[in-house]
Amino acid sequence: MTRTKFIAEAAKYIILAVKLNEKARKKGIPSLENELEDLDDEDLKYALRRVVDGVAPKPIDEILSNRIAFEKDEYTRRYKTILKRAALGIQEGLNSHTLFHVLVSYAGLTPDEEKVIESEFVKRDFVSEYEEGEWKGGKFVRKRKLQAPDTEE
């Protein structure tokens, strides 16, 4: 895998992981069941299937770590490590901002490359729609919680 492809794939799946994490935190891990078929990465699909099925973190980590160890290409190992950590972070219930930064830390990106991925993260607005704040130094600083609008169902 080339560095350019690695960065593109890592960014894509970091953003996806944060999106899936938000859904899991709001609706529960079983809500990810419907998302599995749409995943085009078999490693992430495998890991999340185990998470949804309630497999403990240790066997998931061990299986995926063993698979990663056999990869010869450095970028492929990093990419698969990001996917593994994404699944385990979702299972762990990490805050989405924390998950984002944990996953980015595995990529070994330059500060400029990190900024590009972070701008995608910000654009996709994973901050709750009922929070007001701003981004400072790579972190969302909450100013206040807004009143949720009344909804009729």
Quick: pLDDT tens for 85-138.
999 999 999 988 889 889 999 988 888 888 877 777 666 555 444 344 554 554
Number of domains in the chain: 1
- Give pLDDT tens digits for 138-151: 454 555 544 433 43
- pLDDT for 67 equals 95
Range of the domain at 115: 3-128
Q: 152 lies in a domain? A: no
**Please, which residues have CB within 8 angstroms of residue 24's CB and are 6 or more apart in sequence?**
31, 32, 90, 93
The maximal CA–CA distance of the chain, rounded, in angstroms, is 54
Higher pLDDT, 153 or 61: 61
- Give pLDDT tens digits for 9-43: 888 889 889 989 999 999 999 999 988 888 888 99
- Least Cα distance to 140 among 114, 121, 115 occurs for 121
The mean per-residue pLDDT over the stretch 70-74 comes to 94
- pLDDT for 12 equals 86
Query: Where is 146: in which H helix or E strand?
Result: none
Q: 138 lies in a domain? A: no
- Give pLDDT tens digits for 40-55: 889 999 999 999 999 9
Task: Round the average pLDDT of the chain to a whole number and report it.
Answer: 82
Q: 150 lies in a domain? A: no
37 backbone dihedrals φ, ψ, rounded to 5°: -65, -25
Q: 87 lies in a domain? A: yes
Q: 28 lies in a domain? A: yes
Q: 19 lies in a domain? A: yes
Q: 43 lies in a domain? A: yes
Distance CA 143, CA 131 (A): 8
How far lies 148's CA from each of 49, 85, 152, in Å? 33, 32, 12
